[in-house]
Structure 1
C-alpha cells in the first residue's frame, strides 16, 4: 500500500528535475537534484499525477520552521527495493523503508541545539502548473508521549496517518502557516480552497549530538486514525526501533518475488535492465487489504490502477503468473468496484468524482477475467463476475455499440467487440449457451471498424495515437482481419511500412519542437517506439501472417536500442509497469495475448530462463544462442537478430508459433533452436482465430 520518495515537486513522481511535457525533450524544472522532504504514495511512471500522490511530507531540519519548503541538494543516494537513502545539503543522512501499510524514516543528524522532524499534511501533487492537490478538509492532533495523528481528505478520499517518534525526550507541537502553536493539541479545517490553503501539520524537536539517529514511524489507513495506529503496531511493534525489522521484512518479500524468474546468459547490462524491469512490473497496482474507504466490508482493495489501458496486455498476465493470489485479489477488487460504482474502471486512482478516465478504452477488465477463468486459478464467484461483465458492456460507449455495431472513437469498437468475445468464453464455460451465442455474434462487429480498401481502421479520433497505431491489434479473429485487408501480403506490407522497413532515418524532436515539426512526425504514420501503448503488441501481428522472423527483428531491435541501464533508460513512460513487463516477456521469448489465454513465441534475449509458477517451473532454453558484444557504454549493441529454426515443447516438435497459457502455467520445457537466418518455422501454422472465414459486413450490421 505504501511507497515513499524524496520530493522535489518535479514530474512525474515528485522526484527529479523535470517539468511536465508531452512532446520533445523535457525541460529542466531545477538545475540540481534536490528535495524539500520525503512524501508518501507515488504513482509509477504514468502521465496522470494529481490523484492520491505525494502526501504527508516528512522533513528533517536543523533550521527554523520558516525554512520549511526550501529544497536542499541530494547526494550519496542509495536505492534498493523497499529502501532509499540520501544525504541532504543540510548534512542530515536520511533513510526510508516501507512495509505493507507503514513507512519508517531514520535520520542521522549533525550536532544541533534544535533539530526537528516536521510532518506537513497540506502537501499533495507536484510543483507544476495544475499539478497541486489541495486537501478538501483536514484535522491533526497531538496525543502526547511521542504520538501524533491526522486525517486529510484528498479528492474525496480520507487518508489517515498515526506517527510516533522513537525519542521521548523531544517536544512535540502543532504548527500552522510555519508558526508553532504552543500548547495546542488539535487543528481542524472544514473547507480548504487553493486561495485559503496555508501549510499545517505536526513536528517533533529537540537537541542532537553529532551522529545521533532518530526514528519516526508512520502507519497509514483509509479507514481512520485508529486503524492507522493498529497498522503501525502490527508491523512495527511498540518498543524497540523498527527500521531494520521493517526493511528486512520488505526485502524478503521482494527477494521472493524477484526470485521467481531466473535468467542465464546475456550481458551484465541486459541482466540489469531485465531485473529492473521485473521490479518495476511488480510495484503497482497497490493493494490495501481491508482498507476500502468506499465500502465497509473486508477484503482486497486495489488502487493505482492507472490505467487498465496501460497494464492489461502485459503486466496483468505477468502478475497472474508470478503472484496468482494477488492477481485474484485484483479481480475481486475490480468486481467490487463495478458493484459499488456501476462499471469496471479503466483508471482507478483513489479519487471520488467523475474522472474514472474511460476515454482511453472500453471494457478492458473483461480480458483479464476471461484469462483467469480459462486458467481456473482465481477462486471467484464466476456467476457473480459474469453478471458484471455483461452489464458493463452496455455502459458508456457500449450502448451505441449495442444499437449500431460501431462507435467512435473507432478504437472503442475494437475494445467492445473483443470484450464481447471474452465475455462469451466465460458464459459458454458456465453453460449459458444463449448468452454466449449472442455475445459472440456481437463480437463480430470488429469488422465495422475497418476500411476494406486500406486494410486499416476507419478515420476517427484516436487517443494518443492514430489509426496506424491502433490498426494492428491482436484481435480474436486475426485470420478474418488479415483477409479483410487483402491477405497476408497486403497485411505484411502495411506492417512493414508501419515499422519503417526500407525508409530512411528520421530526426528526433528536440526541446520545445514547433507544431509543424510534430505534425510532420505524426504524418509518418510510423511506429513511435514502446512509449505508445497501442504499439506494444504490433510486432507480434506478423505471427498471424506467417512472418515470425519479422517479429524477431523488431523485438530484438527494441530490446537492444530502446532500453539502457542509466537515467533515461526507458523509451517513455513506464505506465505503472506496463512497459517494463513488456520487456520482461519479450526477453523471455514470449508474448501474452490478453483475453485469449495464449502466448506467442519468439527468440528470447537469454540463453536460458526459468519462471516459477507456484511449485512448478516453465523453462525456456535455447541452442545456438549468441550473446551480443558489449558497446563502450556497457550496452549490447549488435542489432543483428536471431531467428527461431525449430521448437520443441516438453520434447515434442512444435510447428506452431504459439502455446496456451495453460502450457506455461502447468510448467514444462520450451526449447528453441536459434540461427542467424530466417527459417520456415511458423510460416504455415498460425495462431488460432475465432473463425476461418471472413464475416460479411451484412451479417454484422
Structure 2
C-alpha cells in the first residue's frame, strides 16, 4: 500500500526535474535532481491524473524550521525494489524502505548542535498548475516521548499515520506555519481552504555527532490512528530498530515476484529493460487489505487503478497469470466498489468516489471478469458479479448504446459492444441463455461504428488519438471486421499504411513544438508508438488477416527502437504499468487478447523464457534464435527480424497463431522454430471470431 521517494514537486510522480507536458520533449522545472524531503504514496508513470498524492513529507534538516520547503541537490542515489537512498546537499544520508503499510526512514547526520526531522502533514500533490492537494481537515497529536500521530482528510479520504521515533533525548514538538508550539500536544483543523492553509506537522530535534543515525517508523491506515498503530506494530514490532528487517522482508517478497518471469539469452540491455518492465508492472494497483475507508467489512481494498483504459489489455492479464490471488482480490474490490457506488470505475484512486474517466472508455472491467470466469477463478460470487456486469452496461454512454446500438465518441461503441460480448460469455456459462442471446445480439453493434467505404471508424471525437488509432482494436468478431474492410488484402493494406510501410521516416517533435508541427504529424494518421493505449494491440491485428510476419516486423521494431536503459527509455507514460506489461508480453512472444481467454503468438526476444503461473510453469523455447541489440544507430544496422517457421505445444504441432489462456495458466511447453524469412506458418488458421461460432452453429 505504501510507497516513498524523494520529493521535488516535479511531474508526474513528484520526483525528478520535469514540468507537465503532453507533446514533444518535456520542459525542465529544475536544472538538477533535488529534493525538499521524502513523501509517501506516489503515482507510477500516470499522465494527467490530477491527483498525485505525495503525502506526509519527511525532511531531515540541520537548518532552522524557516528553511522548510527549500530543496537541496541529490547525490549518490541508490534504488532497488523496496529501498531508496540518496545524500542531500546538506550532507545528510537518507535511506527509506517500505513494507505493506509502513515506511521506515533512516538518516545519518553530520555533526550539528540542532539536527531535526520535520514531518509536514499538509503536503500534497505537485508543484505544477492545478497539481496541489489541500487537506480538508486535519489533526496532529504528540503522544509522549518518541510517539506521535496524525490524520489528514485528502479528497474525502482520512489518511492516518502513527509515528515512532528512535532518538533518545531528542525533543519533540508540534509546529504551525513554520513556528514551534512549545508545550502544545495537539493541533485540530476543522476546515481548511486553499486560502487558509498554512503548513503544519510534528518535529523531532536534538544534537548529533558525525555519522549518528536516527530511525523513524511510520504506520499508515485509511481507518484511523489505532489501525495505523497496529499496522506499525505488526510489521515493525515495538521500540526496536526495524529498518534492516523491513528492507530484507520487502526485498525477499520482490525477489519472489520478479522470479516469476525468467529468461535465458538476450543482450544485457534487453534483460535490464525486461526486469525493469516486470517491476513496473507490479507496482500498481495498490492493495490495502481491510483498509477501505468507505465500507466497514474486511477484505481486499484496491486503489490506484489508474486507469482501466491503461491496464486492462496487458497488465491485468499479467497479474492474472503470475499473481492470480491478487488479480482475484482486485476484481473482488471492483465488484465491491460497484456495489457501494453504483458503477464499475474506469479509474479508482485514493479519493472519495470512483473516477469514471468517462471520456477514456466504457465498461472495461467486464473483460477482466470474463477472463477470470473462463479460467475458473474461485472466491467470486459469479451470479452476483453478473448482476453488476449487466447493470453497468446501461450506465453513462451505455444507455444510448442500449437504445440505438451506437454512441459517440464512437470508440465507446466498440467498448460497449465488446463488454456485451464478455458479459454474454459469463451469462451463458451460468446457464442464463436468454440473457446471453440478447447480450450477444447487442454485441454485434460494433458494426455501427465503422464506415464500410473506408474500412475505418466513422468520424467522431477520440480520446488521445484519432480514428486510425482506434480502428484496429482486436474485436470479438475480427473475421467480420476484416470482411467489412474488404478482406485480408485490403485490411492488410490499411494496416500497412498505419504502420508506415513504404513511407518516409517522420521527424520527431522536439521541445515546445508548435501547434502546426503537431497538427501536421497527427494528419499523417500513422502509428505514434506505444505511447497511446489503442496502439498497444494494433500490431497483432495482422494475425487475423493471416500475416503474422507483419506482426513480427512491427513488434521487433518497437522492442528495438522504442525502449532502452537510459533516460527516455520509455516511449511514453508508463501508465501504472500498462506500457511495461506490453513490453513483458511482447518480449516473451505472447500477447493477451483481453476478454477472449486467448494469447496470440509471435517470435520472442529471448532464446527461452518461463512464466511461473498459479498452476504451473509455462515454458517458451526457441530454435534458431539470434540475440539482437536495442537502440541500434542507423537504419542499415537494424538487427534482422526473426519469423516463426513452426510451433509445437506440449509436443504436438501447432499450426495456429494462438493458444488459449487456460493452456498458458496451467503450464506447458511452447516450442518455436525461428528463421530469417517469413513462412507459411499461421497464414491458414486464424484466431477464433464470433462469426466462426455462428457459421458452425448453422
TM-score (norm 1): 0.98
- How far apart in 1 are the matches of 2:380 and 2:424? 17
How far has the Cα of 1:234 moved from its partner? 0.4
SS of 1:144's equivalent?
Answer: coil
1:515-555 deviation digits (Å, cap 9, x = unpaired) = 11110011001100000000000000000000000000000
SS of 2:664's equivalent?
Answer: helix
- How far apart in 2 are the matches of 1:113 and 1:144? 23
8 A Cα contact 1:111 1:211, kept in partner: yes
Instruction: Give the match for residue 144 of structure 1.
Output: 144
- Structure 1, gaps ≥5 residues long: 696-701
SS of 1:305's equivalent?
Answer: coil
Instruction: Give the match for residue 401 of structure 2.
Output: 401
- How far apart in 1 are the matches of 2:99 and 2:264? 31
How far has the Cα of 1:356 moved from its partner? 3.0
SS of 2:691's equivalent?
Answer: coil
- How far apart in 1 are the matches of 2:41 and 2:516? 39
How far has the Cα of 1:195 moved from its partner? 1.3
Instruction: Give the match for residue 579 of structure 1.
Output: 579
How far has the Cα of 1:377 moved from its partner? 2.3
Query: Aligned pair in 2 of structure 1 residues 342, 212: CA closer, same or farther (>3 Å)?
Result: same
Instruction: Give the match for residue 560 of structure 2.
Output: 560
Would you say 1:16 and 2:16 are equivalent positions?
Answer: yes
How far has the Cα of 1:511 moved from its partner? 1.0
Instruction: Give the match for residue 135 of structure 2.
Output: 135
How far has the Cα of 1:154 moved from its partner? 0.6
How far has the Cα of 1:168 moved from its partner? 2.8
SS of 1:153's equivalent?
Answer: strand
8 A Cα contact 1:361 1:412, kept in partner: yes
Instruction: Give the match for residue 233 of structure 1.
Output: 233
Instruction: Give the match for residue 505 of structure 1.
Output: 505
1:597-608 counterparts in 2 under 5 A?
Answer: 597-608=597-608
- How far apart in 1 are the matches of 2:259 and 2:498? 37
Aligned length: 695
- How far apart in 1 are the matches of 2:41 and 2:407? 37
Instruction: Give the match for residue 444 of structure 1.
Output: 444
Instruction: Give the match for residue 164 of structure 2.
Output: 164
1:30-41 counterparts in 2 under 5 A?
Answer: 30-41=30-41
Instruction: Give the match for residue 480 of structure 2.
Output: 480
8 A Cα contact 1:52 1:154, kept in partner: no
Instruction: Give the match for residue 616 of structure 1.
Output: 616
How far has the Cα of 1:615 moved from its partner? 5.1
- How far apart in 2 are the matches of 1:693 and 1:611? 31
Please, what is the CA RMSD of the aligned residues?
1.5
8 A Cα contact 1:94 1:108, kept in partner: yes
How far has the Cα of 1:456 moved from its partner? 0.3
Instruction: Give the match for residue 365 of structure 2.
Output: 365
How far has the Cα of 1:53 moved from its partner? 1.0
8 A Cα contact 1:480 1:693, kept in partner: no
How far has the Cα of 1:353 moved from its partner? 4.7
SS of 2:256's equivalent?
Answer: helix
- How far apart in 2 are the matches of 1:623 and 1:637? 23
SS of 2:207's equivalent?
Answer: strand
- How far apart in 2 are the matches of 1:414 and 1:56? 42
SS of 1:12's equivalent?
Answer: coil
- How far apart in 2 are the matches of 1:386 and 1:459? 33
1:509-520 counterparts in 2 under 5 A?
Answer: 509-520=509-520
- How far apart in 2 are the matches of 1:511 and 1:628? 31
1:45-84 counterparts in 2 under 5 A?
Answer: 45-51=45-51, 53-84=53-84
SS of 1:481's equivalent?
Answer: helix
8 A Cα contact 1:560 1:637, kept in partner: no
- Structure 2, gaps ≥5 residues long: none
TM-score (norm 2): 0.98
Would you say 1:249 and 2:245 are equivalent positions?
Answer: no
- How far apart in 2 are the matches of 1:356 and 1:223? 24
1:153-200 deviation digits (Å, cap 9, x = unpaired) = 111111000111011311110000100000001111111111111110
1:225-258 deviation digits (Å, cap 9, x = unpaired) = 1110110000000022000000011011101001
Instruction: Give the match for residue 200 of structure 1.
Output: 200
Instruction: Give the match for residue 417 of structure 2.
Output: 417
Query: Aligned pair in 2 of structure 1 residues 579, 631: CA closer, same or farther (>3 Å)?
Result: closer
SS of 2:295's equivalent?
Answer: coil
How far has the Cα of 1:630 moved from its partner? 7.0
Instruction: Give the match for residue 672 of structure 2.
Output: 672
How far has the Cα of 1:614 moved from its partner? 2.8
SS of 2:446's equivalent?
Answer: helix
